[in-house]
């Protein structure tokens, strides 16, 4: 299992990526490729379930990277069939360090009308209450995952077929969910009524694919068809294609705006917009809102790169790769001594001294979470001889935890939750620190008039503290929501 690294530990992390195909020979091979493209959404573990009429359902779950686990011919031969789904994951904040193989999705259930497997991206905000209720009624849970609640709710449904049982189950669920599931003949995809987490549909020869992002459709050669709409369920068969169902009461979409900022790969498409171009436009807006006199604009690699390009273009300040990322910092790197471990960020990043020395440097990053990495990078830049260091952040201050499928620290560990912008600047020890405004971020993602305060177009709870779905389990545990203004 990949160890935590001090560079990556200071980033918000999407917890899951999901992928499924139907109607293609050796479906599990396509699922493997799709999961490899979605590895950025979850690097702790992965799993695949396939179905073959002669061999039934088969599954494989492994800790670590897709490339290290699902590339052996011997393993892939155990996953035959033309129908398969897969999942890559991080652990949730509450279970970090305690994940067991039984927590790795997809989950499988055997029902009276046949088996079904399910993989879930998101977070069920009433999972604790559902779990208590189900256990009191006799359900026996095999994992610590909130996603397993869906299987148990399906088992207790009185509906006649599996898609209907899934509808029944998901109506009981609160929070954010994008789901891919499979029966013996059907591939199923569902998004929650708010559409918080992504899910897209692709055409793959005579078959079909569902994916968290379009970049995974690209890797398998599938044609992007459209997004699964908020509150939509699609039931897909090789013979009859796509059947669309609307099991939920319609609601206004609240897609996660941080998908635009950081989670999605820059070569993906969201809402018919290039993620790369959106991030570049964030940099343009940031330069308009927060200009500074400087000699060089540098990205904090790799997530800050498109915004830094946009900032340099708009400001007229030259762009340069002042920080170089070591692309070969793999999970097998040995840290044998305390001295080596204390090098921290330097193992993954190195400063381009010849470019930095004597310059007033603008560092562009996607976010500031705990601030630990930002401080280390600032020290590296100053050690290399920079005259000034100015941070420009391509998102508003992250002051609130996410409860919809993102691994976020407790609120008191978020720098912006306990400090003003000036206090953060002093804490990081930089000459200036500025964040894009929430309105500026909305303009960058295509909302020309900015954020509608009365009815926000996206879920931006991590910035605003305004949660579109009440996090009922966390409120039971004492979480204090933002007071109504």
pLDDT mean values, one per 10 residues, the chain (485 residues): 44 83 98 97 95 97 95 95 96 54 94 94 95 95 93 94 95 96 98 97 97 98 98 97 96 96 96 96 98 97 94 98 78 46 65 95 95 91 96 97 88 94 96 98 96 96 96 93 79
β pairing state of 56-63 and 233-237: unpaired
The pLDDT of residue 90: 81
Residue with tokens 């929430």: 438
Domain ranges of the chain: 8-253, 276-448
The pLDDT of residue 408: 81
Tens of pLDDT, residue by residue over 61-71, are 999 999 999 99
Distance (Å, whole) CA 41 – CA 35: 9
What DSSP element (H or E) covers 67? helix 66-69
The pLDDT of residue 6: 38
Q: Which CATH number fits domain 276-448: 3.40.50.300, 3.40.50.800, 1.10.10.350, 3.40.50.2020?
A: 3.40.50.2020
Distance (Å, whole) CA 138 – CA 332: 43
The pLDDT of residue 348: 77
Tens of pLDDT, residue by residue over 277-325, are 999 999 999 999 999 999 999 999 888 999 999 999 999 999 999 999 8
Cβ partners under 8 Å of residue 115, min gap 6: 51, 56, 57, 108, 109, 183, 184
Q: Are 182 and 218 in contact (CB under 8 A)?
A: no
* Intrachain domains 8-253 and 276-448 with the same fold: no
Put simply, whether the predicted model's pTM sits higher than 0.85 gets the answer yes
- The CA–CA distances, whole Å, from 407 to 96, 167, 169, 263, 372 equal 10, 27, 25, 11, 17
The pLDDT of residue 240: 95
Active site residue 402: no
**CATH of span 8-253:** 3.60.20.10
């Amino acid at each position: 299992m990949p160890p935590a690294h001090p560079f990556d530990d200071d980033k918000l992390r999407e917890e899951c990526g999901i992928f499924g195909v139907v109607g293609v020979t050796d479906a599990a091979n396509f699922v493997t490729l799709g999961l490899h493209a979605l590895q950025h959404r979850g690097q702790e573990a992965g799993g695949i379930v396939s179905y073959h009429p002669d061999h039934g359902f088969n599954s494989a779950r492994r800790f670590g990277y897709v490339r290290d686990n699902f590339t052996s011919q011997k393993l892939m031969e155990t996953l035959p069939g033309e129908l398969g789904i897969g999942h890559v994951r991080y652990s949730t904040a509450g279970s970090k360090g305690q994940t067991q193989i039984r927590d790795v999705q997809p989950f499988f259930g055997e029902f009276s009308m046949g088996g079904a497997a399910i993989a879930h991206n998101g977070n069920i905000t009433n999972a604790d209450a559902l779990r208590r209720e189900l256990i009191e009624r006799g359900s026996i849970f095999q994992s610590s995952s909130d996603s397993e609640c869906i299987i148990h709710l399906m088992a207790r449904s009185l509906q006649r077929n599996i898609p209907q049982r899934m509808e029944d189950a998901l109506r009981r669920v609160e929070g954010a969910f994008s789901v891919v599931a499979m029966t013996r003949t059907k591939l199923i995809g569902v998004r929650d009524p708010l559409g918080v987490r992504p899910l897209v549909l692709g055409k793959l020869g005579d078959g079909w694919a569902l994916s968290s992002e379009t970049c995974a459709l690209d890797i398998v050669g599938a044609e992007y068809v459209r997004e699964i709409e908020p509150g939509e369920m699609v039931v897909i068969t090789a013979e009859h294609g796509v059947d669309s169902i609307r099991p939920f009461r319609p609601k206004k979409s609240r897609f996660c705006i941080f998908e635009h900022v950081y989670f999605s790969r820059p070569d993906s498409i969201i809402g018919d917009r290039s993620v790369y171009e959106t991030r570049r436009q964030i940099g343009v807006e940031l330069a308009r809102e927060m200009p500074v006199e400087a000699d060089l604009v540098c990205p904090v690699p790799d997530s800050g790169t498109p915004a830094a390009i946009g900032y340099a273009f708009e400001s007229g300040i030259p762009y340069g790769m002042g920080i170089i990322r070591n692309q070969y910092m793999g999970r097998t790197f040995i840290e044998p001594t305390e001295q080596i471990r204390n090098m921290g960020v330097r193992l993954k990043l190195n400063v381009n001294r010849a470019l930095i020395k004597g310059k007033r440097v603008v560092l562009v990053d996607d976010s500031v979470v705990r601030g630990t990495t930002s401080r280390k990078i600032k020290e590296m830049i100053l050690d290399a001889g920079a005259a000034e260091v100015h941070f420009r952040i391509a998102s508003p201050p992250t002051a609130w935890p996410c409860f919809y499928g993102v691994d976020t620290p407790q609120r008191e560990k978020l720098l912006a939750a306990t400090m003003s912008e000036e206090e953060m600047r002093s804490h990081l020890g930089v000459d200036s620190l500025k964040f894009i405004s929430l309105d500026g971020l909305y303009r960058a993602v295509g909302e020309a008039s900015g954020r509608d305060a009365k009815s926000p177009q996206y879920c931006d709870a991590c910035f605003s503290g305004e949660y579109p779905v009440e996090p009922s389990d966390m409120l039971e545990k004492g979480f204090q929501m933002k007071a109504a203004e």
